[in-house]
Amino acid sequence: MNRPLALAAVLALLAALALPLGLDPQGYAIRVVTLVFLFGAMAQSWNVVGGLANQMSLGHAAFFGLGAYTSTLLLVHFGLSPWLGMLAGGVLGGAAAALISLPTMRLSGHYFALATLAFGEVMRVVANSWSGLTGGPVGLSVPFAPDSLWLFNFKATLPHYYIALAALCLVTAVFVAIKRSALGYRLRAVRENGDAAEVVGVNTARTKLIAAVVSGALMAMLGTLFAQLNFFFDPDTVFGAAPVSIRVALIAIVGGVGTAIGPILGALVIIPLEEAANLFLSSQVAGLSGFAYGLILIAVILVQPHGLASLGRRWGRGRRGAP
Protein backbone atom coordinates (compact mmCIF):
# COMPACT_ATOMS: atom_id res chain seq x y z
CA MET A 1 0.00 0.00 0.00
CA ASN A 2 1.41 3.41 -0.88
CA ARG A 3 1.72 6.28 1.58
CA PRO A 4 -1.26 8.49 0.56
CA LEU A 5 -3.54 5.47 0.44
CA ALA A 6 -2.46 4.30 3.91
CA LEU A 7 -2.95 7.82 5.22
CA ALA A 8 -6.43 8.01 3.68
CA ALA A 9 -7.32 4.65 5.25
CA VAL A 10 -6.18 5.81 8.70
CA LEU A 11 -8.09 9.08 8.37
CA ALA A 12 -11.23 7.26 7.25
CA LEU A 13 -10.94 4.89 10.21
CA LEU A 14 -10.48 7.80 12.65
CA ALA A 15 -13.50 9.53 11.14
CA ALA A 16 -15.54 6.34 11.51
CA LEU A 17 -14.42 6.00 15.14
CA ALA A 18 -15.33 9.60 15.93
CA LEU A 19 -18.54 9.81 13.91
CA PRO A 20 -20.92 8.55 16.68
CA LEU A 21 -19.91 11.54 18.83
CA GLY A 22 -22.04 13.63 16.50
CA LEU A 23 -24.92 11.18 16.21
CA ASP A 24 -27.86 10.27 18.41
CA PRO A 25 -26.80 6.89 19.90
CA GLN A 26 -30.37 5.58 19.53
CA GLY A 27 -31.07 7.37 16.28
CA TYR A 28 -31.71 6.47 12.69
CA ALA A 29 -28.46 7.79 11.22
CA ILE A 30 -26.18 5.63 13.36
CA ARG A 31 -28.25 2.60 12.39
CA VAL A 32 -27.81 3.37 8.70
CA VAL A 33 -24.05 3.73 9.11
CA THR A 34 -23.96 0.46 11.07
CA LEU A 35 -25.73 -1.22 8.17
CA VAL A 36 -23.20 0.36 5.80
CA PHE A 37 -20.39 -1.31 7.78
CA LEU A 38 -22.20 -4.63 8.03
CA PHE A 39 -23.11 -4.80 4.36
CA GLY A 40 -19.66 -3.52 3.43
CA ALA A 41 -18.20 -6.46 5.38
CA MET A 42 -20.63 -8.87 3.72
CA ALA A 43 -19.75 -7.57 0.27
CA GLN A 44 -16.07 -7.84 1.21
CA SER A 45 -16.47 -11.53 2.08
CA TRP A 46 -18.34 -12.02 -1.21
CA ASN A 47 -15.39 -10.25 -2.86
CA VAL A 48 -13.07 -13.17 -2.02
CA VAL A 49 -15.07 -15.43 -4.35
CA GLY A 50 -16.68 -12.82 -6.60
CA GLY A 51 -13.64 -10.61 -6.97
CA LEU A 52 -10.48 -12.66 -6.51
CA ALA A 53 -11.77 -15.86 -8.10
CA ASN A 54 -14.17 -13.91 -10.33
CA GLN A 55 -16.94 -16.38 -9.65
CA MET A 56 -20.20 -14.47 -9.63
CA SER A 57 -21.94 -16.01 -6.64
CA LEU A 58 -25.61 -15.14 -6.25
CA GLY A 59 -26.09 -17.52 -3.35
CA HIS A 60 -24.17 -15.99 -0.48
CA ALA A 61 -27.40 -15.61 1.48
CA ALA A 62 -27.11 -19.35 2.09
CA PHE A 63 -24.08 -18.80 4.34
CA PHE A 64 -25.41 -15.59 5.86
CA GLY A 65 -28.67 -17.23 6.89
CA LEU A 66 -26.88 -20.33 8.10
CA GLY A 67 -24.79 -18.15 10.41
CA ALA A 68 -27.78 -16.18 11.69
CA TYR A 69 -29.79 -19.33 12.43
CA THR A 70 -26.88 -21.27 13.92
CA SER A 71 -25.89 -18.72 16.54
CA THR A 72 -29.46 -17.72 17.34
CA LEU A 73 -30.71 -21.30 17.74
CA LEU A 74 -27.71 -22.12 19.94
CA LEU A 75 -28.52 -19.01 22.00
CA VAL A 76 -32.24 -19.74 22.28
CA HIS A 77 -31.95 -23.44 23.09
CA PHE A 78 -28.67 -23.65 24.98
CA GLY A 79 -28.01 -20.09 26.09
CA LEU A 80 -24.73 -20.18 24.21
CA SER A 81 -23.03 -16.84 23.74
CA PRO A 82 -23.53 -15.58 20.16
CA TRP A 83 -19.77 -14.99 20.02
CA LEU A 84 -19.30 -18.75 20.28
CA GLY A 85 -22.35 -19.32 18.10
CA MET A 86 -20.70 -17.11 15.54
CA LEU A 87 -17.72 -19.45 15.45
CA ALA A 88 -20.01 -22.46 15.09
CA GLY A 89 -21.85 -20.65 12.30
CA GLY A 90 -18.54 -19.85 10.62
CA VAL A 91 -17.58 -23.52 10.66
CA LEU A 92 -20.97 -24.53 9.24
CA GLY A 93 -20.83 -21.72 6.67
CA GLY A 94 -17.39 -22.83 5.55
CA ALA A 95 -18.54 -26.45 5.34
CA ALA A 96 -21.62 -25.45 3.32
CA ALA A 97 -19.41 -23.39 1.01
CA ALA A 98 -17.14 -26.39 0.46
CA LEU A 99 -20.17 -28.56 -0.24
CA ILE A 100 -21.57 -26.20 -2.88
CA SER A 101 -18.14 -25.36 -4.27
CA LEU A 102 -17.26 -28.95 -5.18
CA PRO A 103 -20.03 -29.53 -7.72
CA THR A 104 -20.07 -25.95 -9.05
CA MET A 105 -16.37 -25.15 -9.40
CA ARG A 106 -16.21 -26.34 -12.99
CA LEU A 107 -19.06 -24.01 -13.91
CA SER A 108 -18.27 -20.54 -15.11
CA GLY A 109 -20.04 -17.26 -15.68
CA HIS A 110 -23.80 -17.45 -15.85
CA TYR A 111 -23.96 -21.11 -14.95
CA PHE A 112 -22.09 -20.59 -11.69
CA ALA A 113 -24.34 -17.62 -10.89
CA LEU A 114 -27.48 -19.68 -11.52
CA ALA A 115 -26.27 -22.69 -9.55
CA THR A 116 -25.39 -20.56 -6.51
CA LEU A 117 -28.65 -18.62 -6.81
CA ALA A 118 -30.51 -21.92 -6.70
CA PHE A 119 -28.50 -23.04 -3.67
CA GLY A 120 -29.48 -19.89 -1.75
CA GLU A 121 -33.12 -20.37 -2.68
CA VAL A 122 -33.04 -24.00 -1.57
CA MET A 123 -31.76 -22.87 1.83
CA ARG A 124 -34.56 -20.30 2.04
CA VAL A 125 -37.21 -22.89 1.20
CA VAL A 126 -35.74 -25.32 3.72
CA ALA A 127 -35.72 -22.67 6.46
CA ASN A 128 -39.34 -21.80 5.66
CA SER A 129 -40.47 -25.42 5.69
CA TRP A 130 -38.49 -26.88 8.57
CA SER A 131 -40.59 -25.09 11.16
CA GLY A 132 -39.64 -27.49 13.94
CA LEU A 133 -36.08 -26.25 13.87
CA THR A 134 -36.22 -22.74 12.45
CA GLY A 135 -39.65 -21.52 13.46
CA GLY A 136 -40.53 -21.41 9.77
CA PRO A 137 -41.93 -18.28 8.10
CA VAL A 138 -42.78 -16.81 11.51
CA GLY A 139 -39.12 -16.11 12.04
CA LEU A 140 -36.86 -16.21 15.03
CA SER A 141 -36.43 -13.72 17.84
CA VAL A 142 -33.23 -13.15 19.74
CA PRO A 143 -34.03 -13.15 23.48
CA PHE A 144 -33.82 -9.58 24.75
CA ALA A 145 -31.17 -9.37 27.47
CA PRO A 146 -29.52 -5.99 27.32
CA ASP A 147 -26.73 -4.89 27.92
CA SER A 148 -24.45 -7.89 27.96
CA LEU A 149 -21.25 -8.09 26.03
CA TRP A 150 -21.04 -11.84 26.63
CA LEU A 151 -24.53 -12.31 25.16
CA PHE A 152 -23.82 -9.74 22.41
CA ASN A 153 -26.99 -7.98 23.46
CA PHE A 154 -27.28 -4.18 23.43
CA LYS A 155 -30.29 -1.88 23.52
CA ALA A 156 -28.46 0.99 21.86
CA THR A 157 -27.07 0.86 18.34
CA LEU A 158 -23.72 2.33 19.39
CA PRO A 159 -22.04 -0.97 20.45
CA HIS A 160 -23.28 -2.58 17.23
CA TYR A 161 -21.80 0.33 15.34
CA TYR A 162 -18.32 -0.40 16.67
CA ILE A 163 -18.70 -4.15 16.32
CA ALA A 164 -19.78 -3.76 12.68
CA LEU A 165 -16.89 -1.37 12.08
CA ALA A 166 -14.47 -3.88 13.59
CA ALA A 167 -16.00 -6.63 11.44
CA LEU A 168 -15.55 -4.52 8.31
CA CYS A 169 -11.91 -3.85 9.20
CA LEU A 170 -11.23 -7.52 9.96
CA VAL A 171 -12.88 -8.87 6.82
CA THR A 172 -11.07 -6.24 4.74
CA ALA A 173 -7.80 -7.23 6.38
CA VAL A 174 -8.49 -10.88 5.52
CA PHE A 175 -9.30 -9.88 1.95
CA VAL A 176 -6.09 -7.85 1.57
CA ALA A 177 -4.00 -10.60 3.17
CA ILE A 178 -5.44 -13.19 0.76
CA LYS A 179 -4.99 -10.91 -2.22
CA ARG A 180 -1.28 -10.47 -1.46
CA SER A 181 -0.63 -14.08 -0.51
CA ALA A 182 0.25 -16.98 -2.75
CA LEU A 183 -3.45 -17.86 -2.68
CA GLY A 184 -4.29 -14.43 -4.11
CA TYR A 185 -1.85 -14.85 -6.97
CA ARG A 186 -3.16 -18.34 -7.64
CA LEU A 187 -6.77 -17.13 -7.62
CA ARG A 188 -5.84 -14.46 -10.11
CA ALA A 189 -4.19 -17.05 -12.35
CA VAL A 190 -7.18 -19.37 -12.08
CA ARG A 191 -9.49 -16.50 -12.92
CA GLU A 192 -7.56 -15.58 -16.05
CA ASN A 193 -6.75 -19.02 -17.42
CA GLY A 194 -7.42 -22.19 -15.49
CA ASP A 195 -5.55 -24.53 -17.85
CA ALA A 196 -2.43 -22.37 -17.93
CA ALA A 197 -2.54 -22.07 -14.15
CA GLU A 198 -2.73 -25.86 -13.73
CA VAL A 199 0.13 -26.48 -16.12
CA VAL A 200 2.44 -24.21 -14.12
CA GLY A 201 1.52 -25.97 -10.91
CA VAL A 202 -1.60 -24.32 -9.51
CA ASN A 203 -4.07 -26.74 -7.95
CA THR A 204 -7.10 -24.92 -9.35
CA ALA A 205 -9.68 -27.02 -7.51
CA ARG A 206 -8.04 -26.52 -4.13
CA THR A 207 -7.53 -22.81 -4.82
CA LYS A 208 -11.21 -22.27 -5.59
CA LEU A 209 -12.25 -24.44 -2.64
CA ILE A 210 -10.18 -22.45 -0.13
CA ALA A 211 -11.57 -19.16 -1.45
CA ALA A 212 -15.13 -20.47 -1.21
CA VAL A 213 -14.65 -21.76 2.34
CA VAL A 214 -13.10 -18.50 3.60
CA SER A 215 -15.81 -16.46 1.90
CA GLY A 216 -18.65 -18.65 3.19
CA ALA A 217 -17.28 -18.77 6.73
CA LEU A 218 -16.90 -14.97 6.94
CA MET A 219 -20.37 -14.45 5.50
CA ALA A 220 -21.89 -16.84 8.04
CA MET A 221 -20.17 -15.05 10.93
CA LEU A 222 -21.64 -11.77 9.74
CA GLY A 223 -25.06 -13.41 9.88
CA THR A 224 -24.69 -13.48 13.66
CA LEU A 225 -23.98 -9.75 13.71
CA PHE A 226 -27.13 -9.13 11.75
CA ALA A 227 -29.25 -11.32 14.04
CA GLN A 228 -27.97 -9.60 17.19
CA LEU A 229 -28.44 -6.15 15.68
CA ASN A 230 -31.98 -6.79 14.49
CA PHE A 231 -33.24 -9.01 17.35
CA PHE A 232 -35.52 -10.66 14.81
CA PHE A 233 -35.24 -12.28 11.38
CA ASP A 234 -37.11 -14.71 9.17
CA PRO A 235 -36.01 -16.95 6.29
CA ASP A 236 -36.80 -14.35 3.64
CA THR A 237 -34.60 -11.68 5.28
CA VAL A 238 -31.47 -13.74 5.83
CA PHE A 239 -31.75 -16.33 3.06
CA GLY A 240 -33.38 -14.02 0.49
CA ALA A 241 -31.78 -13.54 -2.89
CA ALA A 242 -32.76 -9.88 -3.27
CA PRO A 243 -32.10 -8.65 0.29
CA VAL A 244 -28.80 -10.51 0.72
CA SER A 245 -27.28 -12.41 -2.21
CA ILE A 246 -27.89 -9.96 -5.01
CA ARG A 247 -27.46 -6.99 -2.71
CA VAL A 248 -23.93 -7.93 -1.61
CA ALA A 249 -22.93 -8.76 -5.19
CA LEU A 250 -24.35 -5.42 -6.30
CA ILE A 251 -22.50 -3.53 -3.57
CA ALA A 252 -19.19 -5.09 -4.59
CA ILE A 253 -19.84 -4.58 -8.31
CA VAL A 254 -20.89 -0.95 -7.94
CA GLY A 255 -17.92 -0.28 -5.69
CA GLY A 256 -15.36 -2.20 -7.71
CA VAL A 257 -14.99 -5.98 -7.86
CA GLY A 258 -11.70 -7.43 -6.68
CA THR A 259 -10.52 -4.26 -4.93
CA ALA A 260 -10.37 -3.88 -1.15
CA ILE A 261 -11.99 -0.45 -1.23
CA GLY A 262 -14.77 -1.48 -3.64
CA PRO A 263 -17.22 -3.12 -1.22
CA ILE A 264 -16.74 -0.25 1.24
CA LEU A 265 -17.46 2.41 -1.39
CA GLY A 266 -20.33 0.35 -2.73
CA ALA A 267 -21.93 0.02 0.71
CA LEU A 268 -21.43 3.74 1.36
CA VAL A 269 -23.42 4.48 -1.78
CA ILE A 270 -26.01 1.72 -1.95
CA ILE A 271 -27.21 1.41 1.64
CA PRO A 272 -27.93 5.15 2.13
CA LEU A 273 -29.40 5.26 -1.36
CA GLU A 274 -31.83 2.47 -0.49
CA GLU A 275 -32.71 4.15 2.78
CA ALA A 276 -33.24 7.53 1.12
CA ALA A 277 -35.36 6.02 -1.62
CA ASN A 278 -37.50 4.31 1.02
CA LEU A 279 -37.69 7.34 3.26
CA PHE A 280 -38.61 9.96 0.70
CA LEU A 281 -40.40 8.09 -2.03
CA SER A 282 -42.20 5.06 -0.62
CA SER A 283 -45.02 7.25 0.72
CA GLN A 284 -45.58 8.86 -2.71
CA VAL A 285 -46.41 6.22 -5.29
CA ALA A 286 -46.18 2.48 -4.70
CA GLY A 287 -42.95 1.16 -6.21
CA LEU A 288 -41.49 4.61 -6.85
CA SER A 289 -38.67 4.12 -4.35
CA GLY A 290 -37.56 0.90 -5.98
CA PHE A 291 -37.82 2.52 -9.39
CA ALA A 292 -35.67 5.49 -8.42
CA TYR A 293 -33.16 3.22 -6.71
CA GLY A 294 -32.87 1.04 -9.80
CA LEU A 295 -32.49 4.05 -12.05
CA ILE A 296 -29.63 5.46 -10.01
CA LEU A 297 -27.90 2.08 -9.96
CA ILE A 298 -28.12 1.78 -13.74
CA ALA A 299 -26.68 5.27 -14.06
CA VAL A 300 -23.75 4.41 -11.76
CA ILE A 301 -22.97 1.22 -13.66
CA LEU A 302 -23.18 3.00 -17.03
CA VAL A 303 -20.93 5.84 -15.95
CA GLN A 304 -18.49 3.73 -13.94
CA PRO A 305 -18.54 0.18 -15.33
CA HIS A 306 -15.49 -0.90 -13.36
CA GLY A 307 -16.95 0.36 -10.12
CA LEU A 308 -16.45 3.46 -8.04
CA ALA A 309 -12.96 2.28 -7.08
CA SER A 310 -11.77 2.99 -10.62
CA LEU A 311 -12.72 6.66 -10.12
CA GLY A 312 -9.79 7.02 -7.73
CA ARG A 313 -7.44 5.32 -10.14
CA ARG A 314 -8.54 7.58 -12.98
CA TRP A 315 -8.10 10.61 -10.75
CA GLY A 316 -4.65 9.41 -9.63
CA ARG A 317 -3.52 8.90 -13.21
CA GLY A 318 -4.80 12.32 -14.22
CA ARG A 319 -2.84 13.97 -11.43
CA ARG A 320 0.40 12.30 -12.38
CA GLY A 321 -0.20 13.38 -15.96
CA ALA A 322 0.27 9.86 -17.31
CA PRO A 323 -1.68 8.85 -20.42
For position 198 contacting other proteins by CB under 8 A, the verdict is yes
For position 305 contacting other proteins by CB under 8 A, the verdict is no
For position 284 contacting other proteins by CB under 8 A, the verdict is no
For position 306 contacting other proteins by CB under 8 A, the verdict is no
For residues 101 and 165, is the Cβ–Cβ distance under 8 A?
A: no
Binding window for other proteins (CB under 8 A); candidates: 22-30, 152-160, 195-203, 301-309: 195-203
For position 193 contacting other proteins by CB under 8 A, the verdict is yes
For position 125 contacting other proteins by CB under 8 A, the verdict is no
Q: Which residue from 22, 144, 195, 302 is in contact with other proteins, where contact means CB under 8 A?
A: 195
For residues 186 and 202, is the Cβ–Cβ distance under 8 A?
A: yes
Residue closer to other proteins by CB (options 189, 251) is: 189
Size of the site for other proteins (CB under 8 A): 20
Q: How far is the CB of 200 from other proteins (least distance, A)?
A: 4
For residues 270 and 254, is the Cβ–Cβ distance under 8 A?
A: yes
Q: Which residue from 188, 230, 243, 297 is in contact with other proteins, where contact means CB under 8 A?
A: 188
Residue closer to other proteins by CB (options 31, 306) is: 306
Binding window for other proteins (CB under 8 A); candidates: 18-26, 66-74, 166-174, 194-202: 194-202
Q: Which residue from 1, 7, 166, 182 is in contact with other proteins, where contact means CB under 8 A?
A: 182
For position 131 contacting other proteins by CB under 8 A, the verdict is no
For position 199 contacting other proteins by CB under 8 A, the verdict is yes
Residue numbers at the binding site for other proteins (CB under 8 A): 180-182, 185-186, 188-189, 192-193, 195-205
